[in-house]
Every structure is written in structure tokens, then in C-alpha cells.
Amino acid sequence: QQQVKQSPQSLIVQKGGISIINCAYENTAFDYFPWYQQFPGKGPALLIAIRPDVSEKKEGRFTISFNKSAKQFSLHIMDSQPGDSATYFCAASNLQGAQKLVFGQGTRLTINP
């Protein structure tokens, strides 16, 4: 019940296209859903996060869509650029509890120029 399932494992998108990464969770106590971007040899960097009281959050080219009833959320990267090539992790936590992040398995995104 603590798992967060992420797909796809890898993704190749042409420059200018839309990259979509999906995550699903089971624990209804989760109330915080961040996305992290990680480059090789670096720590993860917080990209964007959403709380379950909204269905969508947009920051620049990055959008989170959240479906509470389906227990799914996704990251959309619009106008994908080669610099977006990285590994992306979704995560979930319960801010009212231990605040431990449960990570998805990661998606290796490659943007072809």
C-alpha cells in the first residue's frame, strides 16, 4: 500500500514535443505529490508539487495533473528541450504523518534534438 508505481521506465521524445510520465498510488493518506528531476551524479531537485485539493498545477512548461478518485497523477513537460533529458521521479507523502517520501521507480527521459 506504500508503493508508488511510475511509468514508463524510459521515454524518448522529439524536441518540442510533450513528455508525459504517469504515477499511481494506493495509500489514500498521501496528501503531497512532488516531482523530482535528477541529472547523473547529482541529487534530485524539486520540480513541482501538488496537494490533493487541486486537479492541476502549472509552472512554466511543467504541469501536474491529479486525479484523486483514480489515485493517479502525471507530469507533462510541454515543448520538451534537450536540457530536459534527465531521470524523473514522482513521489508521495503524508504531511500530517512522518513526511517520508515514497518514490516511484523513475523515468529516464531523453529528448532528441
Partner 1 sequence: GAVVSQHPSWVICKSGTSVKIECRSLDFQATTMFWYRQFPKQSLMLMATSNEGSKATYEQGVEKDKFLINHASLTLSTLTVTSAHPEDSSFYICSATGNDRGVYEQYFGPGTRLTVT
Binding site for partner 1 (CB under 8 A): 32, 34, 36, 41-46, 49, 89, 93, 95, 98-101, 103-106, 108
Q: Which helix (H) or strand (E) holds 65?
A: strand 62-67
Nearest-angstrom CA–CA distance, 96 and 29: 9
Q: How far is the CB of 81 from partner 1 (least distance, A)?
A: 23
Residue among 29 and 46 whose Cβ is closer to partner 1? 46
Residue among 7 and 105 whose Cβ is closer to partner 1? 105
Q: Return the residue matching grid coordinates 547523473.
A: 40
Alpha helices for 18-77 (secondary structure H):
none
